[in-house]
């Protein structure tokens, strides 16, 4: 039994180290691209402006802006206001509000659409009466009525800048094979809480060290679902939107690039968006992203390896589509770690523990990735990277939630597209607790997370008892991660807020009765 535990633990750590080592690959290409740029071997794309390309505004290309919405009461009006401020000729810009909502969002959006129509905008409020295909289905349905040669897409939590089209459209005229241009997300509420700051750190790592570096290095990248613009013919040539995965954006991206379309990522053009401000919204988002990526991998990895592509492109695509497989191995590592500590006390496997020590080094890869990403964006990047331990612990704490997503994807079990609720929060004083869309109950996954936090606390005690102090930092990260995710999941649920409200009410009643009695005694 000991040999089996050690073997599974070794495999888990080995797999994690492989994916951790991939960080060094991204770091290598990051510095290679920098060097090539300095030495003149790589030239930045410098498109002409729309004015230079077309002269008069009447010659500008037609653009359709699609806004897929589902129950976005708090942010839909903000999105429509932002889109109406985009600097582009009204007669050349069609706006489609693809509204699958089932609540008051429908009425709120309808009023806003009427207001914008009165101002001369070509805007449609499109209702399907069904959620078939979820977001992909809505986008595909909208394509039937789209007038534009280019299709820009924004989710409800985005606030596109007025110059979005003028900064993105010119890139399509550099090369007729450019099918999509993606901008970097900026974070409206980054400083709302530690949770949003950790998310910002993670997303910055993705956009700089994955999207930007990989795009500059000739690898496949993906449309991020929002904050980007497509050439219509690219969407149609690649087979249009398909709703058989939870990652419709990644799905279409791989199909398009397998058909030789090129993508462009713009590091310095940003699209502001709101980050999830409560943990249950983040967990639903992470579940969807994790499961969707595995589904896309199952769908296209075989085709990728059969295509006549450079080996490095095939390998990078494989890492990208399978990197969420780390979560089951993170969970296995957490479960087995205390047992491995106890087995070590027998002294029969000294060679094993010596070899395991080597696998610590690959875990510096992710740290370098996120450090370089923050340095690329912020002047105060050192203040940002301090949050890396919180981000890492949170990622470990999400292992239960995301392992469930991986397993369901591998079993090819279909699940609903659960959108990530947003509350229109920007300032730190604004609250989401009393708003709609807050999780009404505590999911079973949360109880598992809390139990694992207790389990890791016991593991820490075992390590202290046996003086295996080298295991403590690892166990402390797991304990912090499972505690952070589990406890927040309870605290950020409606049932907890209702309970706290009742307790506060009871305390106020007691306080008032005591004050009344004291007053009477006087």
pLDDT in tens, 331-384: 999 999 999 999 888 777 778 888 888 888 888 999 999 999 999 999 999 999
Q: What is the pLDDT of residues 135-146, one digit of tens each?
A: 999 999 999 999
162 in helix, strand or coil? coil
Does 470 or 52 have the greater pLDDT score?
52
For residue 436, give the nearest of 103, 106, 82, 10 by alpha carbon: 103
Instruction: Decide if pLDDT at 120 tops 80.
Output: yes
Residue 497 predicted with pLDDT over 80: no
pLDDT for the residue numbered 31: 97
Mean pLDDT is lowest, of 171-185, 430-444, 495-509, for: 495-509
pLDDT digits 0-9 by tens, 49-76: 999 999 999 999 999 999 999 999 999 9
Query: In whole angstroms, what is the distance from residue 457 CA to residue 472 CA?
Result: 10
Q: Which of 99, 155, 157, 249 is catalytic?
A: 249
CA distances from 346 to 2, 352, 357, 461 (A): 10, 12, 18, 18
pTM over 0.95: no
In DSSP notation, 174-206 reads T-TTEEEEEEEEEETTGGG-HHHHHHHHHHHHI
Write down the residue that tokens 């295991």 correspond to: 471
Q: Which two tokens stand for residue 197?
A: 């700051």
* Whether residue 100 lies in the annotated active site: yes
Q: How far apart are CA 292 and CA 280, in angstroms?
A: 18
| Residue 325 contacts residue 441 (beta carbons within 8 Å) | no
Q: What's the chain's average pLDDT?
A: 93
Pick the catalytic residue from 99, 100, 155, 157: 100
Fold of the CATH domain 60-276:
Spore Coat Polysaccharide Biosynthesis Protein SpsA; Chain A (3.90.550)
Largest interatomic CA distance in the chain: 92
pLDDT for position 359: 83
Q: Is the pLDDT of residue 219 over 60?
A: yes
Cβ atoms of residues 201 and 388 within 8 Å? yes
pLDDT in tens, 26-37: 999 999 999 998
Q: Is-contact 84 447, C-beta < 8 A?
A: no
Contacts of 101-107 with C-beta under 8 Å, sequence gap 24+, read 101/69, 101/70, 101/71, 101/72, 102/71, 103/71, 103/73, 103/436, 104/73, 105/69, 105/70, 105/71, 105/72, 105/73, 105/76
Instruction: Supply φ then ψ for residue 241, to 5 degrees.
Output: -70, 140
Structure tokens at 231: 């050439």
CA distance 362 to 16: 9
Residue 267 has pLDDT above 60, yes or no: yes
pLDDT band per the 50, 70, 90 thresholds, residue 3: confident
Q: Does the annotation mark 103 as catalytic?
A: no
Tokens matching residue 149 = 């040669």
Task: Check residue 344 and give its pLDDT.
Answer: 85
| pLDDT attached to residue 512 | 66
């Amino acid at each position: 039994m000991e040999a089996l535990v050690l073997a599974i633990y070794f495999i888990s750590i080995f797999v994690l180290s492989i994916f951790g080592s991939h960080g060094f690959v991204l770091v290598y290409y990051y510095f290679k691209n920098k060097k090539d740029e300095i030495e003149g071997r790589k030239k930045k794309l410098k498109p002409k402006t729309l004015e230079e390309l077309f002269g008069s505004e009447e010659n500008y290309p037609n653009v359709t802006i699609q806004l897929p919405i589902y129950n976005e009461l708090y942010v839909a009006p903000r999105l429509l206001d932002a889109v109406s401020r985009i600097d582009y000729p009204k007669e050349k810009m069609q706006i489609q509000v693809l509204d699958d909502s089932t609540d008051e969002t429908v009425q709120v959006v309808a009023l806003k659409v009427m207001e914008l129509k009165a101002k001369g905008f070509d805007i449609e409020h499109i209702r399907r009466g069904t959620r078939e295909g979820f977001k992909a289905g809505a986008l595909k349905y909208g394509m039937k009525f789209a007038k534009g040669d280019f299709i820009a897409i924004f989710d409800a939590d985005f606030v596109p800048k007025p110059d979005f089209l003028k900064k993105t459209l010119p890139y399509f005229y550099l090369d007729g094979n450019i099918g999509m241009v993606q901008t970097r997300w900026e974070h409206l509420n980054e400083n709302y809480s530690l949770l949003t700051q950790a998310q910002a750190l993670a997303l910055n790592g993705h956009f700089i060290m994955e999207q930007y570096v990989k795009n500059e290095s000739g690898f496949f990248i993906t449309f991020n679902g929002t904050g980007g613009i497509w050439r219509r013919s690219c969407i149609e040539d690649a087979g249009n939107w398909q709703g058989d995965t939870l990652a419709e954006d990644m799905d279409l991206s791989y199909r398009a690039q397998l058909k030789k379309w090129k993508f462009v990522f713009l590091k310095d053009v940003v699209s502001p968006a709101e980050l999830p401000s409560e943990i249950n919204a983040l967990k639903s988002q992470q579940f969807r992203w994790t499961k969707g990526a595995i589904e896309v991998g199952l769908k296209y990895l075989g085709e990728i390896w059969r295509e006549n592509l450079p080996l490095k492109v095939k390998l990078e695509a494989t890492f990208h589509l399978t990197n969420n497989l780390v979560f089951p191995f993170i969970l296995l590592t957490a479960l087995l770690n205390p047992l491995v500590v106890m087995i070590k006390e027998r002294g029969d496997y000294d060679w094993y523990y010596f070899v395991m020590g080597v696998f610590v080094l690959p875990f510096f890869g992710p740290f370098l990735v996120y450090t370089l990403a923050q340095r690329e964006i912020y002047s105060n990047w050192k203040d940002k990277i301090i949050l890396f331990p919180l981000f890492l612990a949170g990622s470990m704490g999400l292992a239960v939630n995301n392992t469930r997503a991986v397993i369901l994807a591998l079993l090819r079990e279909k699940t609903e597209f659960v959108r990530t609720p947003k509350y229109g929060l920007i300032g730190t004083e604004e609250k989401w607790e009393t708003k709609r869309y807050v999780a009404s109950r505590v999911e079973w996954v949360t109880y598992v997370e809390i139990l694992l936090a207790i389990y890791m606390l016991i593991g820490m005690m075992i390590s202290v008892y046996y003086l295996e102090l080298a295991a403590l930092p690892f166990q402390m990260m797991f304990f912090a991660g499972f505690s952070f995710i589990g406890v927040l999941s309870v605290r950020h649920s409606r049932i907890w807020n209702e309970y706290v409200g009742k307790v506060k009410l009871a305390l106020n009643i007691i306080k008032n009765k005591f004050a009344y009695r004291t007053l009477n005694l006087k």
